[in-house]
């Protein structure tokens, strides 16, 4: 993390390790969403302000409420994803593209608010241009909007 957005020593190493382990849990387990992306119930008290983990939790909820996971009803999962994304990950000095990608996913796939989705995707891509998830999700959005050349470009993005 060589970005100027991060102050030296501002990341809790234990929390960051848990965050990095999270995608493995999402791919290999069927635990409740709060166990994904480094926010097991016991760690929430240790790292209540850890924005990156909240962005990961938001992403986990967003995915658990849609294909191929379908572990939760979208009526349950998408509002939880929105709450986690807004709780810590889009507030303060550290604006995370990951959280805005989740908000875009929700606006697109749950609210059907294409204008809001487009705005959130653009913000996510601007904040996290090297993160492949916003590019992939934006490519899905572009397919639905019948912008196929742009969808292909996003899907093949070097991120």
pLDDT given at position 39: 42
Q: What pTM was computed for the model?
A: 0.71
Residue 152: CB atoms within 10 Å? 13
**Residue carrying the six token digits 């929700």:** 106
Using CA atoms, how far apart are residues 91 and 80, in angstroms rounded to an integer?
A: 17
Fold for domain 13-155?
A: 1.25.40
Quickly list H helices, 7-155.
13-28, 41-44, 51-64, 74-84, 97-106, 114-127, 132-144, 148-155
Cβ-in-10-Å burial (0-12, 13-18, 19+) of 7 comes to exposed
Dihedral of CA atoms 139, 143, 144, 147 in degrees, nearest 10, equals: 100
Segments making up each domain of the chain, as ranges:
13-155
* 130 CB-contact burial (10 Å; exposed 0-12 / middle 13-18 / buried 19+): exposed
In this predicted structure, what is the pLDDT of residue 4? 39
Work out the number of other CB atoms within 10 angstroms of the CB of residue 24.
Answer: 11
For the chain, 159 residues long, the average pLDDT of each consecutive 10-residue run is 44 65 53 43 50 78 79 86 78 71 93 96 92 91 95 81
């Amino acid at each position: 993390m060589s970005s100027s957005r991060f102050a030296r020593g501002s990341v809790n190493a234990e929390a960051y390790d848990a965050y990095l382990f999270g995608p493995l849990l999402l791919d290999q387990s069927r635990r409740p969403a709060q166990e994904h992306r480094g926010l097991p119930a016991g760690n929430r008290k240790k790292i209540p302000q850890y924005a990156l983990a909240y962005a990961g939790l938001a992403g986990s909820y967003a995915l658990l409420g849609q294909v191929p996971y379908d572990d939760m009803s979208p009526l349950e999962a998408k509002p939880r994803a929105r709450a986690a994304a807004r709780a810590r990950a889009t507030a303060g000095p550290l604006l995370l593209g990951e959280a805005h990608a989740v908000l875009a996913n929700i606006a697109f796939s749950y609210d059907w608010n294409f204008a809001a989705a487009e705005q959130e995707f653009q913000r996510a891509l601007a904040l996290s241009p090297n993160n492949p998830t916003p590019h992939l999700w934006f490519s899905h959005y572009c397919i639905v909007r019948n912008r196929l050349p742009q969808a292909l470009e996003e899907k093949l993005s070097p991120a």
